[in-house]
Chains A and B, each alone.
Chain A
């Protein structure tokens, strides 16, 4: 392996061989090889959880691999921290920027450097940094403070930081996820100018269109393994890449009863909403879900799925459109009003939203029922009833814990999800909103969650299932809606769904054979 890494021939900027990185319950990288040539833009493509970011975090010194070797410019390296990686000429721009909002661009670029040592003559550095930025087509005022800058400009500061440190390899983790189209064009120009200067770029993405625009070569990952290594992007088709990315795999066989839809439970009409960053996250979403139906929403993270769940459950205001549950208008009603209408919610963020980590299991189990009898008697809480309720759920849903009095943070991921599902299912939901219900769970726990969701369907609940795991969506759902950039771009019967076509839609491609999305009438089955 070692001589493989120091292979003669054109020098490689980065060579990674047999990288293995395990996290509790997952193998994020399972023997991954990756090459980056000098002077190329290399796209790393894959679904969320495919292991792209893990691989690059290994390269950037954030993680240490459990096995495998890394060489940078022909020399073996063993990074202990990002500092080591920066010293070797590697820079990684993460999705969440590491900038000090109250300081200027110049100050942020200089942070952590050895000079200026004592007297900070910022004016001199301002000019130097302005020059560097101009050379690479990064429009920036070195004296501007970070909080005054747009997200795109902040990204430029991050890039500038590494250029100033003399980085020869730049790793960008989904850089266009936060950019407007115009800003993305600017970024691509900058990257081109950098590689023309002899730098090399790794570009993590899951958008097919931009990959063929910016990348020289593409490596595709799926479930911790490489499914295509360094193929020239010129020779690829979006369909081919989508298939490599999404794959086709025989799922666990999920037993489903025939589809017997009842009346419409959830009706979302032309809803628009703003995301956390202040940009539109939903741009006119319409859908109906019937009793006894699971509607699966497929899509790459960040295309509005989370916001869709939040507007249905009352956790995020809508700016236009309406949401009705069983005929009651709940648009922009507070969460309790939605809960009262028997809308259950298995949230994406189990530890931050779905549970209170430092409260007991019992306290966590009564989150949705503490307000009413029999748990509450007027303004008092019947602690005896709480215990009976909690112990009952713990037994029924197999929550593995020594007692219901221990803190929820001590539960494993699978058990915490059982707790959340136990609580939500016992609230007798007519609508179940489940977001990423099996993310990070092991096989056994996943099967349990699937079984519980299907039992809900059979008991006549309507279910909105949002998942990045396409196999899960296809396996559980009666219908599948695909979201891209805040819109529903396609809706199919799950039985007839074509994986490649969905993969293409998820990544911004269009599938000609599909019905035109958009008009609410067609989205209603």
Chain B
């Protein structure tokens, strides 16, 4: 016997604090609150990141300054930031659209890949003969990319609508299927001389870049931002219009809030699930098209550093608002770009992670009022 046996703990331990903290559901959310909590969450995330940086032996403030300079410091890096933001905007819109209806499409990554594949197929099968002008090739590639992404997105939609299959699992797993599908084509039929990439697309299949106009406007020389960014901005406007001003958008909002009320209102919920999943997939597919046609100019294995997953965070930060998605995507494009400059390169990824946690935690403040009351003896 070395020590006396500890006294048996009482069955219920109540810690007596002089106050109690309660969360009360908010009845009314003030208009300014969502924006304020987002800003607050970003500030808190930066503070936490700063502490982690300091603990790791870094200097937080110079590091943050460096990140900003590396992504917004000159016209050239701003252009690069926008290039990174483009696929995020489109995949972010894909997620925001589905999430509005509480459809948890976390398969934007796979739909992105299928879109890239569909766009590539136009020039690699080829569907159009060599030398077809851009004005035909590019719209065809966009259509093919959206069609491939949309069809791929419709799969989990149909499974959910018909059999009630959980869309999270299906979309997650289909991401791997899409990656293997790309691998098959770049290793096999479309392989360029045995390398894991396809032949470069002909110039007619490239989205125009600002640097293409450097002859006329010298300031554009070296600017890689491409037409896909414009497509993404137009998509944001269209998605916003769809959600706020269309019949389908109303149905999406109604189903998202109360599926039973939607059914009561005469909405075919199953049909809407399939449509929204297909639209979401088409947006992600368009992102894939924009990436192969605007940046890489060929199909290859490492075509996405996880845009479809970052898109989930982007959609959340934007509170599912299409214009917010544009802003959040540019911020995340900057973080991705800064990853090249900051050592270790994991720092921006850590900031992303902490940002997401802060934002999710801040939801509590939106829904609940924190009330501290003195405990009555």
Contact = CB atoms under 8 A, between A and B. Distances in A.
Nearest to A367: B265
B254 A367 contact: yes
Interface string A375-395: 010011101000000000000
Contact of A336 (B244, B248, B250, B266): B266
7 smallest A-B Cβ distances: which pairs?
A336-B266, A367-B265, A356-B257, A356-B258, A335-B266, A339-B266, A114-B11
Interface stretch (A48-56, A196-204, A357-365, A500-508): A357-365
Given A334-B266, A410-B28, A354 B245 contact: no
Given A353-B261, A379-B246, A410-B27, A363 B254 contact: yes
A363 B250 CA distance: 8
Contact of A347 (B248, B257, B264): B264
Interface residues of B, number: 23
B258 A357 contact: yes
A370 B247 contact: yes
Contact of A315 (B249, B264, B267): B264
A352 B28 contact: no
Interface residues of A, number: 34
Interface of A: 114, 313, 315, 334-336, 338-339, 345, 347, 349, 352-359, 363, 366-368, 370-371, 376, 379-381, 383, 406-407, 409-410
Contact of B266 (A347, A359, A371, A379): A371
A406 B29 CA distance: 10
B254 A359 contact: yes
A366 B247 CA distance: 11
Contact of B260 (A336, A353, A359, A370): A353
Given A363-B254, A410-B28, A368 B265 contact: yes
Interface string B262-287: 11111110000000000000000000
Contacts of A347: 264
A249 to B, nearest CB: 34
Contact of B261 (A334, A336, A338, A367): A367
B257 A357 contact: yes
A345 B253 contact: no
A352 B263 contact: no
- The DSSP consensus for interface residues of chain A is loop
Nearest to A114: B11
- The DSSP consensus for interface residues of chain B is helix
A281 to B, nearest CB: 18
Contact of A352 (B27, B254, B260): B260
A406 B27 CA distance: 11
Contacts of B262: 356
A353 B264 contact: yes
Nearest to A371: B247
Contact of B245 (A352, A353, A383): A383
27 contacts: A313-B264, A315-B263, A336-B266, A336-B268, A339-B265, A347-B264, A352-B260, A353-B260, A355-B258, A356-B253, A356-B254, A356-B261, A359-B257, A363-B250, A366-B250, A368-B265, A370-B250, A371-B247, A371-B266, A376-B247, A379-B248, A381-B245, A381-B246, A381-B247, A383-B244, A383-B245, A410-B28
A313 B263 CA distance: 11
Contact of B257 (A334, A336, A358, A366): A358
B261 A355 contact: yes
Contacts of B260: 349, 352-353
Contacts of A379: 246-248
A381 B266 CA distance: 17
A435 B262 CA distance: 18
A467 B92 CA distance: 48
Nearest to B265: A367
Nearest to B264: A353
Contact of A380 (B246, B254, B264, B268): B246
Nearest to B266: A336
